[in-house]
Structure 1
Amino acid sequence: MSDKIIQLNEDLIKHDLKDLVRNSVEETLNALLDKEADELVNAEKYERSSNRQGYRSGHYKRNLHTTAGEVELKVPKLKGIPFETAIIERYRRRESSVEEALIEMYLAGVSVRRVEDITEALWGTKVSPGTISNLNKKAYEHIETWRTRPLSGDYPYVYVDGVYLKRSWGGEIQNVSILVAIGVSQDGCREILGAAEGMKEDRESWRSFFVWLKERGLTGVRLIIGDKNLGMLETIPEVFPDARYQRCTVHFYRNIFSVTPRNKMKAVALMLKAIHAQESKEAAREKALQISEKLQSMKLAKAAKKVEDGIEETLTYMDFPTQHWSRIRTNNTIERLNREIKRRTKAIGAFPDGQSALMLVCVQMSTTFLHC
């Protein structure tokens, strides 16, 4: 394996993920142009109607440069009436605002009323609920194609976690968990492997998630890094028998801080860090024993007990190349993504269903890694 295990897969970012957004922008704008043409003609394509105001006469192509890349517009040509559209000109003057509106359409948790308000503010007229629904479906198709793509090659290190979002269910607000996996390939590149709805992060949810990844081609897993979750721990040996588990050291510290008085947290933090600063697993175990005894003398019996019970599962990374240690002993790779997802979802509130939440996470994964 490469010494530099955390790198950006620039080819994936510049092509696959960027194309996903660009294609969705292109389809959305063309759908809106067709809708405008239907409204001007007062009839849909091939519709026989006495109220028809004009006829379609094909279209002409026009390139438009956007922040998502250059898109090809198919501008309708009409007979009997001129085709005048506000979308392109408004888009030119207010590109960033329209980009935000399009992204909102990708995030399926945004209500139809919200999208209508955005389009009215940008273009002066509301897009119908039916049109919004169709646009979201098209965006979902692109996202789903990327989310379920085949995986090739080995991924020795895999980071996993679940992020909780709010959803509406029977008039109540409930939590929905989205399980996320990020892998590190043999050449050291970080890649998003997948995301799936996990309900409550129970054993069956984790098992289904791991089996789904494996069926798509995930192989060569040697280490799975994540927070301690009994459902996940029970499933790893079943689905990936050759993989080992590394408990995130940061979450381990937080678990100990939960039973530590505030005025002693700084001292305890320094002691815990000393354990994982050792040069070998044997030295770390010995240091952990000393720390446990020290905590006992400080009358922190609960903290000492947590160190004794949990230290071993935080030292698995020491059986791997030393140059990888600092990157594989924590789950910070996914934690950063989770924080950005939580920040973006504050404005949305509750999603109408789990699928909506899943689509947002997939879109956010692409945009977050574009800015790494």
Structure 2
Amino acid sequence: MCKFLKGCIKENITKREITMTQKQNAAMEQAIDLLINNDTDVSILFREDGLLKEITKRLVERALQSEMNNHLGYSKYNQSDAQNSRNGYNTKNLITKNGAVEIEVPRDRNSSFAPSLVAKRQRRLDGFDDKVLSLYAKGMSLSDIKLQLQELYGADVSESLISQIIDDIIEDVKLWQSRPLDPVYAIVFFDCLIVKVRQDKRIINKSVYVALGIDLEGRKDILGLWISENEGAKFWLGNFTEMKNRGIQDILIACSDNLNGMSEAIGAVFPKTEHQLCIVHQIRNSLRYVSYKDRKELAGDLKPIYTLAQKKKHFPL
């Protein structure tokens, strides 16, 4: 296909997408105008039994009807000769960001309908699990989370459900921690974050070590997160061995602060990797070799060196 024809097709698709977006925006504005006019008390939208919950209910039920139409191959009231057909509804209490909503889920006679928006045995929409995880990460107990969710959503959520959500998320975290990595990374940055965690019913500070990798195509990815009381060669040796077991064969440049034991560990697992300290630590190391009164002047003289755009232009070999 010639470039001109490709360009025409791309331009036509773009115009159609823009037109569709404009129509959607216009429809949204019209719906908002109908909801909010000069005679409407806007507060009714946000009450416990307000319009937002009703709108959520209608949207979810309409989407489920569309899924049923697609499943059966014909819309409601357009009966066909198909062997399967609609068979009433099941009611379900669904937890949404607007609160607990009772919805009607359509059924079919063959019991083969499996909706994707609200799957069987699903009791909450996307976003609810994130809220549970956020509360848990802040150190709240299961009973505290239950009370908080009751205030937020007006729903009585059992502690066993909260515990199950947390267990499911932890399982996803374990899968993420053990996922395969690329064979080669151009640069991997290592740094430390101080975060608050719950331990033995107390909130304490913990050091979380982060590995941020940049692959050969320039894409960034968090390669690993590790918590440790003390860093050292043994700690880093274990981390680098883990990364190697997950598929990394080589790291061109490892960049970090002057972390204790890192250089020795890198040399043992990835002997060809160049370990580069960050600029701040390189400057600090340089300033150690001069008297205190000369440090400010030396720091100023070093700045043109580490801010060079092209090394050869100023320092020809």
Query: Shorter-chain TM-score: which interval?
Result: 0.5 to 0.7
Alignment of 1:91-240 (within 5 A): 91=99, 98=128, 101-104=131-134, 107=137, 109-167=139-197, 169=199, 174-240=204-270
Q: Contact 2:187/2:252 (CA < 8 Å) preserved in 1?
A: yes
Question: Could you say which structure has the larger radius of gyration?
Answer: 2
Classify 1:106/1:187 alpha carbon distance in 2 versus 1 (closer, same or farther; 3 Å): farther
Determine if contact 1:199/1:205 at 8 Å carries over to the other structure: no
Q: Secondary structure at the match of 2:206?
A: strand
SS at match of 1:199: coil
Alignment match, 2:98: 90
Conserved 8 A contact 2:132-2:145: no
The answer to whether the 8 A contact 1:178-1:199 is kept is no
Taking the aligned partners of 1:194 and 1:219, their CA distance within structure 2 comes to: 16
Contact in 2 for aligned 1:237/1:243 (Cα 8 Å): yes
The 2-side partners of 1:138 and 1:231 are apart by 35
Q: Provide closer, same or farther for how the CA distance between residues 97 and 196 of structure 1 changes in structure 2, counting only shifts above 3 A.
A: closer
- Decide whether aligned partners of structure 1 residues 247 and 96 sit closer, same or farther in structure 2, where only a CA change above 3 A counts: same
- Which runs of 5 or more residues in structure 1 are unaligned? 1-59, 64-81, 287-372
CA RMSD of aligned residues (A): 4.4
Partner of 2:52: none
Distance 1:266 1:84, change over 3 A: farther
Task: Summarize the Cα distance change of 1:245–1:132 in structure 2 as closer, same or farther, 3 Å threshold.
Answer: same
User: TM-score, normalised on structure 1?
Assistant: 0.45
Code of the residue aligned with 2:98 in structure 1: it is R
Distance 1:122 1:168, change over 3 A: closer
- Do the aligned partners of residues 235 and 61 (structure 1) sit closer, same or farther apart at CA in structure 2, a change above 3 Å counting? farther
Question: Deviation string for 1:294-342 (max 9, x for gaps)?
Answer: xxxxxxxxxxxxxxxxxxxxxxxxxxxxxxxxxxxxxxxxxxxxxxxxx
Inter-partner Cα distance in structure 2 for 1:147 and 1:175? 22
Question: Offset of 1:203 from its aligned partner?
Answer: 1.9
Aligned to 2:26: none
* d(CA) in 2 for partners of 1:204, 1:124: 50
Partner-residue secondary structure (3-state), 1:160: strand
1-structure distance, mates of 2:283, 2:259 = 15
TM-score relative to the length of structure 2 = 0.52
The superposition leaves residues 12-65 of structure 1 with CA deviations (integer Å, 9 ceiling, x where unpaired) of xxxxxxxxxxxxxxxxxxxxxxxxxxxxxxxxxxxxxxxxxxxxxxxx9966xx
Q: Is the 8 A contact 1:160 1:224 kept in 2?
A: yes
Q: Is the 8 A contact 1:221 1:240 kept in 2?
A: yes
Once residues 164 and 189 of structure 2 are traced to their aligned partners in structure 1, the CA distance between those partners, rounded to angstroms, is: 35
TM superposition shift of 1:209: 0.8
CA change 1:213–1:83 in 2 (3 A) is same
Deviation at 1:84, TM superposition (A): 5.3
Which ranges of structure 2 fall in alignment gaps of 5 or more residues?
A: 1-60, 65-89, 102-124
Number of residues paired by the alignment?
208
More helix by share: 1
Q: Percent identity?
A: 27
Name 1:347's counterpart in structure 2: none
